């Protein structure tokens, strides 16, 4: 277990780099998650890793520590009701608004990619039914380690059994040894990019739908509002930010309206009503 002093400095540095708030209860799991990094960097213990990070000026070890502690709790089709809404209402409405133009969906803090790939599966199935939605899907995370796994499209048997109906597994995956690999077509349909939610997402361009599902809970209240506010600046005027089941818009978001799990610009929400 990390000492109080070690935990305090790790929590401070992680918050600076990723915004994530570490609570004291995760000190034990945090040490376990840092052990592979300590080994790779040639340290005998996590304490040695932290001590070295404190004296090295380039911040590389701290970045590695923040990456190793990045939130990676995700699954395919998490919140089934939400995916039904996306398929039946939210995505079709965005497509109808855009006409023949391509719509853009951004899955923020997507970790190992299950969320953007779940969207890609929905769209693939729409194509099989004769529809041809023009959609660009972007998945971002600040952790290169998680993005590398997302890009690989390789998942364990445990991961593909959490939330993924068996018919979707058969339709969209193939066996790769002990793992399951998404089809090339599906992998190619999602673009992954490194993005830290503490920074402005300008480079991602305008988005029609932004998925911030189960992301905000890892941050303090002030940071939550900042993330939503920054994301909203990317929104198409009629676009929306989607939160996870049971989540609400943080206080302090200007010009935004929250209803039924979805955040929209106040004017757009009024027009829709």
Partner 1 sequence: MKRCLIVDDSRVIRKVARRILEDMRFEVEEASDGLEALQACRRQMPNAILLDWTMPVMSGIDFVRHLRKEPGGDQPTVVFCTTENDVERIAEALKAGADEYMMKPFDGEILHSKFAEAGLI
What residues line the site for partner 1 (CB under 8 A)? 80, 157-158, 161-163, 165-167, 169-170, 174-175
Residue partners of 59: CB distance under 8 A and separation at least 6: none
User: Smaller CB distance to partner 1: residue 171 or 268?
Assistant: 171
CB of 169 to partner 1, least distance (A): 7
β-sheet with 262-265: strand ranges across: 190-194, 135-141, 103-107, 207-211, 235-242, 262-265, 256-259
User: Smaller CB distance to partner 1: residue 15 or 85?
Assistant: 85
- Report whether 105 contacts 135 (CB < 8 A): yes
User: Smaller CB distance to partner 1: residue 47 or 183?
Assistant: 183
- Report whether 138 contacts 193 (CB < 8 A): yes
- Report whether 140 contacts 110 (CB < 8 A): yes
User: Smaller CB distance to partner 1: residue 156 or 217?
Assistant: 156
CB of 140 to partner 1, least distance (A): 26
Question: Measured between alpha carbons, how far is 252 from 257 in angstroms, rounded to an integer?
Answer: 11
CB of 170 to partner 1, least distance (A): 6
User: Smaller CB distance to partner 1: residue 100 or 167?
Assistant: 167
CB of 158 to partner 1, least distance (A): 7
DSSP secondary structure string for all residues of 136-152 = EEEEEES-HHHHHHHHH
DSSP-derived 3-state class of residue 53: helix
CB of 242 to partner 1, least distance (A): 21
| Six token digits for residue 270 | 């009024």
């Amino acid at each position: 277990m990390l000492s109080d002093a070690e935990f305090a400095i790790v929590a401070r540095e992680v918050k600076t780099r990723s915004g994530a708030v570490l609570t004291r209860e995760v000190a034990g799991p945090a040490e376990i998650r840092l052990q592979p990094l300590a080994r790779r960097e040639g340290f005998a213990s996590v304490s040695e890793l932290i001590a070295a990070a404190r004296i090295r000026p380039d911040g590389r070890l701290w970045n590695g520590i923040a990456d190793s502690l990045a939130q990676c709790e995700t699954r395919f089709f998490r919140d089934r009701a939400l995916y039904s809404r996306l398929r039946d209402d939210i995505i079709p409405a965005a497509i109808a608004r855009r006409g023949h133009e391509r719509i853009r969906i951004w899955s923020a803090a997507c970790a190992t990619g299950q969320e953007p790939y779940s969207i890609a599966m929905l769209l693939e199935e729409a194509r099989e039914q004769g529809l041809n939605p023009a959609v660009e899907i972007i998945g971002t995370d600040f952790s290169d380690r998680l993005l590398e796994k997302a890009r690989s499209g390789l998942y364990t048997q445990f991961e593909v059994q959490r939330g993924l109906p068996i018919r979707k597994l058969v339709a969209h995956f193939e066996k790769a040894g002990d793992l399951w690999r998404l089809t090339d077509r599906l992998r190619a349909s999602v673009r992954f990019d490194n993005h830290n939610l503490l920074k402005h997402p300008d480079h991602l361009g305008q988005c029609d739908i932004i998925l911030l599902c189960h992301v905000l809970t890892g941050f303090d209240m002030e940071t939550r509002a900042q993330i939503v506010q920054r994301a909203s600046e990317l929104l198409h005027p009629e676009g929306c930010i989607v939160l996870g089941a049971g989540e609400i818009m943080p206080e302090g978001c200007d010009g935004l309206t929250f209803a039924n799990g979805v955040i929209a610009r106040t004017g757009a929400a009024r027009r829709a009503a």
